[in-house]
A and B are shown apart, each in its own frame.
Chain A
């Protein structure tokens, strides 16, 4: 015969041992422990089984472009003023925040203006200045995309640090989606989204703006006072001067004086009266800019002014500028200790360069997760017992063959999961159950064909050989189509659905091995012990 059954049997046992190892230990060193604890340590559970929170955040990267051009508008105005060029600089089209429009340059000064525009400050713009004194600066596409990408990356790093402060084990923070500047945050073990949102939400965009006018009680009053004209360089913002004050409206300069990213350090402390306040330091460059502004508008100067601290587009505190501030200062404003702690943490670990909003929140509580595991396992065991019993009754001896192959199939499947550290989700458990059903289909295909061949009068050995040969083509066809289907689900599905695709694919791959190779070896061994012409138990 020369079929090398001994070698084949040995390889099957080797596979069994390897994959049992995979289930218990994965690719780690073996250690002692009860079955349950080993399984719990080695098989990774998805959020729907462990309990946890899944968030998808949208980063509004366009804001970074708007802030950058706003600052450059201010810079250009100052540069023109210093060069003695009268001009009006602004952004006329809200749909194109990357474009700055310049008008009204006297013809005599056009060449001076060109010199200014060719300076290194504006190298990221495509500038064009016409002889009639109008021109545009459009941020280069490469610079825009670069800025957006950097904004997304910085946001991710910042959120990552915030999440770490929550002390979650194995958190996930990564880019998400099909390229829409979204971030995925997954936190096992936390099922209160409010807690997470507070840690992250307070990373909303913070900046300090110069107050032009106000406060008024509401939008109407503000517009009346301004004669219904809001100057293009300014914007109306709601908020309150203190954390407990009434909602009011201020007119602030559109370009910020200090951005969140300019803060180098921020610490909570107390003022002379023992009330909580915040001391901060800025980066040197920001400090220089801030010094120019605060010395021009401090309470001792000709035009005293105040500043508003705006967080998430709401005024949180308004402070008068007591003296010129370079890079060290204090923010005070009736904060509570908790608010000051949160604010300083936020500034310290780096504020977000753009604001974020939530597009998706999903949480699963631990009790639901545990119940799901229990129910999934019961369903799997019930299904498996039903199938095994039927195979034994209907196919008798061959049924044992099929049942052994089925058990090995599951061992290989779970071993795959252990080795690859794939995550088991609730649909993943359903995938295991489906694998049981679809896996045994291969055996049925083969056995029915063998029965047909026996009915046609072939000997046991010939029937087995024909049965496997004919069924092979169909088995390949059916497995390939289902695996293709699972692959598409993996590409387009979210976490739990990905888990389903993974277990189904592993299960079917394992089934190709067990239903065809292992079953064949078992049949061959049985045939070896039979005499020629003896009946096969099938």
Chain B
């Protein structure tokens, strides 16, 4: 006999929407509070400019000695951070950061840190593994690029969904995506991880993924609406979610497996990127059921209250 996790489920998803709303609110508000008052939005060197140097030591570095080495050489405003990496490979590495110094003195930060370490840190030998220096001009440019990419992505998706479905489907999907992005960025704020260009790429990817997931549910809703004109939208949506539940959980589970593998084994450089995907895939799957579908029904109920057409149109081009 075949293994089936969800043979025929019949859960009233829409009935649980207040629980979902509460759950979403808790995480959204926690994230927003952290962004406003606690860690704020930790921006990587790509956006806030500055110098970031990743140093690997032969033996576990002594942070106090590092600080003293910097102070003695007169290096100011530096921060020293241990590299976080679940696989434990990066135990002997630190990231030394300096704030931005202006386009004219682009290289000064790096030179002063390297000089300070060579001259004053004698606990063990070290190698500079990675250097990132972003001047103010470049920082602003990259911010603009990231913002444009996000904006165009969302507009592109909205247009495509409007084209394939009705506008309300597109709006519901975009609201779900906004919810996902907010919670993911909130997660970065809560865990104080930096948002770099690759993290933005991960966020754009999870926007795409969340859309995908929402589209699968919407496709089924549209198909079912075309088949049965007598059922209420409420029942159709519930049935559609139940029918696609198997696919949703397994598919998301498999994607989550691959992304988890990336997070655990993929190394320190991709750490932020894989964290965004891990959070994003979970939340993206959740939002299709908990945010997009209820929004659709809520909009429909609102229209009904105002005395308009009772049945949600099946959407354009509903071809099987």
Which A residues lie at the B interface, using CB under 8 A?
48, 56, 58, 177-178, 180, 191, 193-194, 197, 357-365, 367-368, 371-372, 375-376, 378-380, 382-384, 386-387, 390-391, 393-396, 426-427, 429-430, 433-434, 436-438, 440-441, 444-445, 448, 451-452, 455, 469-470, 473-474, 477-478, 480-482, 484-486, 488-489, 491-494, 496-497, 500-501, 504, 538
Contact = CB atoms under 8 A, between A and B. Distances in A.
A367 B89 contact: no
Interface in B239-275: 243-244, 246-247, 250-251, 253-259, 261-262, 264-267, 269-270, 273-274
B3 A437 contact: no
B135 A358 contact: yes
Using C-beta atoms within 8 Å of the partner chain, give the interface range for chain B: 35 or more
Interface of B: 2-4, 7, 54, 56, 87, 89, 103-104, 106-107, 110-111, 127-135, 137-138, 141-142, 145-146, 148-149, 152-153, 156-157, 160, 164, 197-198, 200-201, 204-205, 207-209, 211-212, 215-216, 219, 223, 243-244, 246-247, 250-251, 253-259, 261-262, 264-267, 269-270, 273-274, 277, 319-320
Given A427-B270, A451-B2, A478-B215, A493 B131 contact: no
B195 to A, nearest CB: 13
A444 B160 contact: no
Given A390-B257, A427-B270, A430-B262, A482 B212 contact: yes
Contact of A382 (B141, B146, B265): B265
Contact of A444 (B2, B254, B264): B254
Given A193-B133, A383-B257, A390-B253, 12 more contacts: A193-B110, A194-B107, A359-B106, A362-B130, A368-B54, A371-B267, A375-B267, A394-B3, A427-B201, A433-B258, A433-B259, A477-B212
Contact of B107 (A193, A372, A433, A488): A193
A92 B302 CA distance: 66
Given A379-B262, A451-B2, A496-B198, A368 B104 contact: no
Nearest to A364: B130
Contacts of A488: 149, 152-153, 156, 204
B160 A484 contact: yes
Contacts of B277: 430, 434
B212 A430 contact: no
Contacts of B269: 48, 368, 372, 426
Contacts of A482: 205, 208-209, 212
Classify the secondary structure of A's interface with B: helix
Contacts of A444: 247, 250-251, 254
Contacts of A497: 197-198, 200-201
A434 B134 contact: no
Nearest to B164: A477
B99 to A, nearest CB: 16
